[in-house]
Structures are given as C-alpha cells and as structure tokens.
Structure 1
Amino acid sequence: MITKRLLLLFATALVLSTFSSCLDENTKGLLPEEKAYNSATNLYINTVATLYNYIGGNSDSQGLEGTVRGLYDYNTFSTDEAIIPIRGGDWYDGGFWQNLYEHRWTASDEALYNTWLYLYKVAMLCNHSLAVIDANRSLLTDKDYLAYTSEVKAVRCLFYYELMDMFGRIPYVTKDQESYADVKQQERSTVFHNIIDELQACLPYLANEHSNLEGNYYGRMTRPVAQFLLARLFLNAEVYADDDWTDKQHPDGKTMTFTVDGLTMNAWQACVHYCDEIEKEGYQLQPDYAFNFSVHNETSVENIFTIPMDKIKYQNQFWYLYRSRHYAHGGAIGMDAENGTSATLATVHAYGYGTDSLDTRFAINFYADTVKVDGKVVTQESGEPLVYQPLVMAENLTYSPYEKTAGARMAKYEIDRKAYADGKLQDNDIVLFRFADVLLMRAEAKVRNGENGQSDLDAVRRRVGMPCRPATLDNILRERLLELMWEGSRRRDLIRYGLFHKAYDLRQPIESESDAHTIVFPIPTKAIDLNNKLTQNKGYKTEK
C-alpha cells in the first residue's frame, strides 16, 4: 500500500542547506540513493509517499491538525469558538493562550515561527521530490511522470495555501536548493493565483479516488481533495486577492473572474463548480453525524480528506480530547488529562444550551453538566460529582469556585478506549475535509452570488434533525459553527465575514485593530533575520 504504512521512506537532508536551513531532519537509516531510485515504485515511495509523513504530527507545531501550538490552535483559539482559560496555576503558559484569544501575538512568538518552519519544511521537501523525479524520469512512463509530479505539486499547494492563509505575503519557492537569502516575498494575491493555477493544472492527473477510504489512495492528495481546496480558495477569494487588508477595501467576488474548465466564472460560481464536482464523485452526508468521528471512521461516505490514524502503525497523535478533559474525567476512562480547552459562552449560546431549542449536535460535540463514564457518575478528589459548567467562563478563572470545572469540553471524536499515550494515539482518523463543509460552502457562495442556497443548508440541518432556517449569510455562518465545531475552520470564516478583528464573546479588539491587520499573523522575526529582503506585515513590529 503506497501510504504512510510503507517503511521505505526517504527524507532528504539537502533541504537543510537551502530554504529551511534551520530544520533538523533525522537522516539515520536512509536507503542508499541507488536503491531508493532504482524503479518507478521506489521512486514513488521515496519522493511522493514520504511527503504524507508530514500531514500529521506528534510534536508541537507539527501536522495540519492533531498537535498543539500549531495551525489548529492559531485557527481555533483566536476565535469566538473555543478558549483555554487560565485555571489557577494551570494554563498561564507565559500568557500564550490568553494572547492568542485576544490577538496579542507578536513576531517573536516561538510557536508561530515553528509553525512557519513546519509549513515551509514540507513545501521545500516537495521541491526536492520534484527535482529527484525529474532527475530519474527515465524510470517513468509519461503517464506516471505526470501523476507523480501532479501529486507532489498538489501537496505543495496545500502547504502554500496554509502559509498564505496565515501570513498573507510570503516567499513562494518552487525550485530545489534555492538559497533562502535570495528568495523574495510575493503579494498575497500573486500566491493565491499561483496556487489556483497549479491546482487546476494538476487536477486531470490526480487519481479520482476517495482519499479517506483504506486502500492504495488512503490519506493521499486525490482529485476530490484538490477540488475541495479549490472550492475553499474561491470562497475566500475576496480575502486572498486583497493585497492591503488594512485599507477597508477589498475585491468583489462577483466581479473577479477566473477560468475554470474553459469557462469564465466569478469567484462564487467557481466555488459552486468545484462543490458540484465533489458531489458528482459520490460523497454524501453520513446519516449519523457522529460516525464521521468514530473510532473506525474510515468507511465514512462524507469524509473527503483525513489524517490516517492507527495507534500501532502510525506516529500521528491527536491531543485535543486529552487537553480538554478534567483530570477526574481522564482518570475514569483510564487515561490522563490536562483540564484545559472549553467552548466559549458565544458557542454555548449558539447551540441553544439552557433553552428549549438545544441543537442536537451539542451532545455529540461537548461534555457538559454531570459527567458519567460507563453509566457511573465521575467524582472529583473531594468526592463531589464532576459537573462541567457550560455557562461559566472567563479568560482567567483563578479563584472562581468553578476554576477547574468551568466550560463545556470537547467531545466530538469518540474516545478510543484502547488508545495509547492517554488517548493521543487513537484509531479515529482526523477529519480535515468533509462533505457537510462542501454543502455549506456551496450554500454561502450561491447566496453571495444572489442565488438560493436553501437546499444545501436544509440538508445539513435535516441530517441532525433540526428545523430549517432561511439561507441567509448570517444563518450559514452560524451553521458552520454548529456543524464544524472543533474542526479548525472558524478563523477563516470570521475573516471572510469581516468579524475576526471585531469584538466577540469575551474579547474586545486590541489597540489599533480596527484596521484589521490581525487577520494575518506577523512574519516571524527569525524568518526576517535570515532574509532581510522580507518585510513585516502592516501593524506589526519585528522584535529583536
């Protein structure tokens, strides 16, 4: 199986002397180059398959999801969705989580720099893979060459997309061993169009397969995965095509034009087109919403792109349940816990908690009220029942009587009772893209284009037994929170709606945030130190 299960993996160290010179790749035990590249199969294994080792992670700031102080945290705890409050002596961490929630991040933030390094590491490994494939093209048929290179380029697009989304103006490097000191920063709109052009060029040569299903394409960049990424790019086109996001002006998605399959479309039409293409591939809503996050979710008809998880075979980890549960809750299931992550008050109210119209997804997404494990009430050290308090929350809970119990906690992913490492090594695949998001993207794009998105919104709500709501932009944004809670997409949503830099939940805008400069993060100081051609994003200082 050509996936992460392959043991023959080749991680080049050449990237260390080029763009990502400060990265530390372990090169022990590598295959001799003459064996790594002696057949088409080995060439694929050691240039394409090896890249999938980096989609997930097992240490801070590594992986697209699953670990901490990386992409997921920057996209989640900076929003109205979730918070990690200070709980006495727990979770102060030098103010990291509070600063994240308040948008007080700085260019000297070490975790931000580590996230930058991770994303560029994979982009540069893609560049090296392409160079190796070119050097060994004689091993390949024309068809294989196009398939191999397109898959690598699509993976590279995914990582440049994340870089552009987070940092706006970035170096866009496509050559192997290009000197970091020589690379230039490109405007966000340029990177945006480059990613679209490359993904569209790759599409015909990507396997038209379901990436979430176990088999030869498990966890890989297939055509539907690339189509999802294109739909997301077009839905956020007004943001990504804006080179000065601080001037209170932005492009109009209705008047922006793109060539899609030989036709001219505006941004919203292009988004709808790729959503339609994904639906044609047979994806549909899983009848049971919770099944998408179950221990054995590999057969979901809804999940499009996942991080394969297997506590025996893979090293990928999932920290989020462990990080959220109260200590006693973790102990009751035979695991440890960190008693941190909670839903915000805004989220709890959006779900209708405490009212007669509680959304059915609340019980799936959260632990709330009296906690039971295997039908038994969980007790704290004091002997009192463990009761989570969804309607109690503050940035700093120190001295609150609910210091350790405030907040609804993350559930969503079924607990793998046979997991290792306190639940971090689980069998539930981590869901990155799924069809419910496709329906909500299509509904929103249609409404933004003056069309009717009602049927797609209705389908998402009917699946969970909730009554229909008018397909307005406000209702679609609310539905994205209800449906996609804990899935790492909230920051992009708030930015697209022009809300990220404004007051929400407990958060008040910081000084000068009215210019919306916080919709991108600062270019890390250490990155600028290595290349003085890079300039800082507006609104930020480059600390020494």
Structure 2
Amino acid sequence: MKYRSMIFACGILFFIGCTGELDVLPEDPDTFLVEDFYTTPESYLQGLAGVYGNLSLTGAEGPDNSNISGLDAGTSQYGRGLWNTQELTTDEVLWSWENDPGTRELNRNIWSADNVILRGLFGRAMTQVAFSNEYLRQTSDDVLDSRGVDAGTKDAIVTYRAEVRFLRALAYYHMMDLFGKAGFITEEDPIGAFQSPEYNRAELFAFIESELMAIIPDLIAPMENDYGRVDKSGAWMLLAKLYLNAEVFIGENRYAGCIQYCEQIIGAGYELAPNYLHVFMADNHQGSARNEIIFPVLSDGVVTQNYGPTTLMINGQVGSVEQNGGDFGVGSGGWGGALRVTRQFSELMLNGTYDTDDRNTLIIGDRPIDLIPVNNNGTGYVIGKWSNINSDGSPASATEIVDTDFPMFRLADVYLMYAEAQLRGGGGSLATAVGYFNELRTRANNPNTISSSDLTLDLILEERLVELHWEGHRRQDLIRFNNYTSSYNWSWKGNAPNGIPISESRKLFPIPNASLSANPNLTQNEGY
C-alpha cells in the first residue's frame, strides 16, 4: 500500500500553515507543530508524514493552495521546481507557454534573481529544512521524557528522526547543487532565527556527508520500509550522487566513494522492471516497478493531489495537434502541447542506435523538428514516456492530477553512475560497468549492446539522456561533463534559436532577491 494515506494524515495540517518569508524558518511554533498535537504514539508517525508531505503537497487546502506566501501551487511545489530547473534549462525539453511566470527565462537561460520559479524552489527547500528542524525539536530525548513517552515509541522515533534528517540533508543537497549556498540552520538554533549564517558548497557538502553517515545505522534496511519512506539505500544513493559530483561541488575526486555506495545499493536486492515504461505509469508504486524505485515523490489523483512533476509531464507531453491525452490517461488535449523536445534530443533518438528502443517514445507525425517559435505548440516533436494509466491498462483514479509517482532515485541511474565513476578512475570493474550498460539496453529491447572498448564517457552521457530523460538529472549531468555553458548548444540556449554558449556563472542559479531581503547574511552568486 502506498504511504500516501499517511502523507494526508492529520499531522500535515500542523505543518502547512501559511509562511510569509521565502528564506523560510519557523518564527512561531504554532505555524508548524503545536505541543498538544503529540499526545499519542501515532502522532509522531503523523508528524513524520507531514515532513514527507512537503515534497508533494503545497498547502492544507488542496492542490491549488500554497503555504508559501506570494506564490501559487505550481511555482512552489518541490518536485516541480526541481524538474523545471534541471530540465527546462537544458537540451531535453522546453515549455510552450512562455507567458507563464518564470518559464521563458529558464527555457532561454536568461533567468534573474527575481525569477518566480527559483523563488519557489528556494523557499520550498527552506520550508523542508524548517519542518525538519521543528520535528527534531519536538522529538528530542528531553522533550520525549517530559511527555512520558514509552520506550517502544521512543525506539520507533529513533528511525523517524533519521528519516527527517535525511529529508533535511536532501533539501540542503538540492540547494548546494542549484544555488551553491544556503542559509544554514538546525534544530539546535532558536525558533525565529531568520538571519541564519550562509553555508557555501564546501560547508554544505561536509554537513550532508556527515549527516548521512550518522543516520545510516538508524535507517531501516533496504526495501523494508513503507513505500515512500526512505531507507538505508536512499541515504547510500544520496552519498553516491554527492561523490559523483564532488569535483563540481568541492573540486575533489570522490569517485571511489560513488562506486562503494552504488555497489551497496545494487547488492541490496533492487531489480530493473522488465518493462521500462511500467516505471512511469500510474501504478509504479507496486509490482516490478516498485523493485526498481529507490525513493519516490508521491502523487495521487484523489488523496495526495498536487501539480507536481508527473502531473506536469503527463499533461504537458500531450500533443496539441495529436490530441492524444487519452493514450496517457488524461484529457484528450492535456495542457495544449506545453512540453516539446529540442532538435538535439530528437536527433539523438533518431541516429539509428535507438530505432527499436522502448525508451524512444518520440511522436513525430507532421511536426517540424525545430521549436520555432517556442510558443507554437505544433512545432517540435513530443514524447510518450509518462502515463496516468495502470500497467494492466486500467484507468487511474482521476484525470489531470495523476497517480504516477516521480522516481527521484531508481536503480537504472545507479547502473549508469557506477559505469561513469568506473571510467573516471573510481575503481570497480570495467566488465561489470559494461554489463550494467548492456542490461539497460537489453531491458529496452535495444539490440545494440557494447563491448568494453566501446564504453566511453561521451557514450554514458548519451545513454543517461536516453534512459533518464525528464527525470530531473540533465542540468547536473551536463555541468559534470562540461557541456552546459560550453560550445555544445541546443535549441534556444542563450536565447538564440540554434543556441549559443552561456556564461560560466549560469552553472549556478542566483539567490532569489526575496530571500536576500529575508536573510541579510546571504550573498548573491557571481554574475547576478
């Protein structure tokens, strides 16, 4: 059963009152949790659900409500903000409706510190930190003892606290990756300490690493926790990603650490789903898809309603010309051709290597390949990767807002991370890396398997696009491979139809002006 029923438990109502600052910290404890809430053992699990809920939900009054003052639900949902920044800014996809606030600037790599999408993501990540800190305050040993909490409940809370510390580390990881810095605060700081000190990438890296190491012993074993809750493998995955990108983050080679944690995840019992597309369907929380997903962001057409990344992608991928939303379990017109792929994406899928590949879901029809102009939703090809239909063909619980969970971490990514870290000198086995690469192609019914002499970093970057497109990895990948700001161009990069190189400063997003105003200790990134 999905953890989504718990996500909507009454505990979340104490977490998602309206907050007025975009550098969000809990000024008033009643904004987040009240003392009277923690009266039963179940209440601590409900409070935990509230912290998880911030990944999916935006407010207590339904999917159209946001608990971050001044922002709507679409620009302040955690997964959607992450997806927008990692995808719209790259060679994978563009958003047609450039009159939607913030999207034109991301499409064209011309964002500023006033971009509303960046404001929303920074604020949502800081909200996650705030919720986590308050839960940790409410579950300290001293507080539990003062309430007379029994030993069995206290033992369970040890695991809950480890999960919350993971969620806080994840939020700081995303801020480190996207913004290069953050206001740093923990449960040890007083409530209302809005002017938190600024931590740079090196300081955030060290904190995230130490936190994950500290909590791993208290997390539940891989694949044994409730679906939607993190276990040891989720912490291993975040460590592996931390080390894979360490040269970007802190200028250090940590590929051996990436190999170590990839091996631990692979040895934990996860398996590739036999059908690639089942991982992206409405019932991906169960069956073979569940055995591939390491950590999801939940969505539900009835219970955990949100305008998050899967609702956006499934409605957005529907072609304006094709009116094919029924094929994906949403309205026939979807969101009017909102999402289309770039020429560069399409040319890779059509280069002959992926002709029979299940991961190639290009829908071409009579469309031109070029996205000119961007707001002409009949230009550019569309895809059919994501679906709001169950794997047996039955309908999901609702249309528009979808049941499909967003796989933030999954096994296929681990295979490609292992292969990349092996080629970059992290150890491991080349033969094993090739084997993992070929498993992905074989699973996708692609006969073009490779030998050890064929495996290169360029090929891995290509395969990451094919395997992981629209899953929120591409910006980070292009930066790690030095292809983001360089002469590798794509449609509308740098605000040019065929693309132009962009400033090195664009490897980081600016700190939102609203957050600078809220916390004078924050400083702006170079170039903004």
TM-score higher than 0.5 here? Answer: yes
Provide the residue aligned with 1:74 in structure 2.
Answer: 85
Provide the residue aligned with 1:495 in structure 2.
Answer: 479
Gap change, CA 1:272 and 1:507, over 3 Å in 2:
same
**What are the within-5 Å matches in structure 2 for residues 339-488 of structure 1?**
339-351=337-349, 353=350, 356-361=352-357, 364=359, 366-370=361-365, 387-389=366-368, 391-394=369-372, 396-397=373-374, 403-416=376-389, 418-419=395-396, 423-449=399-425, 451=427, 452=430, 453-466=433-446, 467-469=448-450, 470-488=454-472
Correspondent of 1:136 among 130, 144, 147: 144
| Residue 238 (structure 1) shift | 0.8
Provide the residue aligned with 1:324 in structure 2.
Answer: 317
Provide the residue aligned with 1:222 in structure 2.
Answer: 231
What secondary structure does 1:432 align onto? strand
| Residue 80 (structure 1) shift | 1.1
Determine the C-alpha separation between the residues in 2 that align with 1:514 and 1:81.
17
Determine the C-alpha separation between the residues in 1 that align with 2:374 and 2:156.
58
| Residue 170 (structure 1) shift | 1.4
| Residue 339 (structure 1) shift | 1.3
| C-alpha contact 1:481 1:490 (8 A) present in aligned 2 | yes
What secondary structure does 2:294 align onto? strand
CA offset digits 1:78-128 (Å, max 9, x no partner): 01111224xxxxx23178433213321101112211211111111101000
Provide the residue aligned with 1:294 in structure 2.
Answer: 281
Provide the residue aligned with 2:50 in structure 1.
Answer: 50
| C-alpha contact 1:133 1:149 (8 A) present in aligned 2 | yes
Please identify, of 139-148 and 112-121, the stretch whose mean Cα deviation from structure 2 is larger: 139-148
What secondary structure does 1:305 align onto? strand
Determine the C-alpha separation between the residues in 2 that align with 1:31 and 1:190.
29
Correspondent of 1:305 among 295, 311, 327: 295
Q: In the alignment, is residue 528 of structure 1 matched against residue 516 of structure 2?
A: yes
Q: In the alignment, is residue 60 of structure 1 matched against residue 104 of structure 2?
A: no
Counterpart AA for 2:318:
R
Q: In the alignment, is residue 518 of structure 1 matched against residue 528 of structure 2?
A: no
CA offset digits 1:215-269 (Å, max 9, x no partner): x61101211111111111110011111xxxxxxxxx241xxxxxxxxxxxxx111
CA offset digits 1:155-177 (Å, max 9, x no partner): 11111111111110211211354
Correspondent of 2:184 among 172, 181, 184: 172
| Residue 44 (structure 1) shift | 2.6
What secondary structure does 2:56 align onto? coil
Q: Which runs of 5+ in 1 are unaligned?
A: 86-90, 242-250, 254-266, 371-386
CA offset digits 1:490-525 (Å, max 9, x no partner): 001011111111241234558997651111100111
CA offset digits 1:10-56 (Å, max 9, x no partner): 4247995898559999989x99743x21233322322x121111112
Gap change, CA 1:240 and 1:286, over 3 Å in 2:
same
| C-alpha contact 2:195 2:518 (8 A) present in aligned 1 | no
Determine the C-alpha separation between the residues in 2 that align with 1:2 and 1:498.
39
| C-alpha contact 2:26 2:192 (8 A) present in aligned 1 | no
Counterpart AA for 1:304:
I
| C-alpha contact 1:13 1:27 (8 A) present in aligned 2 | no
**What are the within-5 Å matches in structure 2 for residues 219-298 of structure 1?**
219-241=228-250, 251-253=251-253, 267-297=254-284, 298=286
What secondary structure does 1:446 align onto? helix
Provide the residue aligned with 2:491 in structure 1.
Answer: 506
What secondary structure does 1:202 align onto? helix
| C-alpha contact 2:23 2:515 (8 A) present in aligned 1 | no
What secondary structure does 1:108 align onto? coil
| Residue 425 (structure 1) shift | 2.1
Determine the C-alpha separation between the residues in 2 that align with 1:412 and 1:397.
21
Determine the C-alpha separation between the residues in 1 that align with 2:27 and 2:110.
29
CA offset digits 1:301-321 (Å, max 9, x no partner): 211111233323222341212
Q: Which runs of 5+ in 2 are unaligned?
A: 58-62, 64-72
Provide the residue aligned with 2:161 in structure 1.
Answer: 149
Correspondent of 1:205 among 212, 215, 218: 218
Determine the C-alpha separation between the residues in 2 that align with 1:104 and 1:19.
22
Gap change, CA 1:528 and 1:287, over 3 Å in 2:
same
Calculate the TM-score normalised by the size of structure 1. 0.80
Determine the C-alpha separation between the residues in 2 that align with 1:210 and 1:513.
43
Determine the C-alpha separation between the residues in 2 that align with 1:419 and 1:25.
40
| C-alpha contact 1:170 1:185 (8 A) present in aligned 2 | yes
What secondary structure does 2:243 align onto? helix
| C-alpha contact 2:24 2:123 (8 A) present in aligned 1 | no
CA offset digits 1:294-349 (Å, max 9, x no partner): 22222222111112333232223412121232345447624442212111111111
CA offset digits 1:428-468 (Å, max 9, x no partner): 22221110000000000011016523222222222223312
| C-alpha contact 2:169 2:208 (8 A) present in aligned 1 | yes
Counterpart AA for 1:468:
T
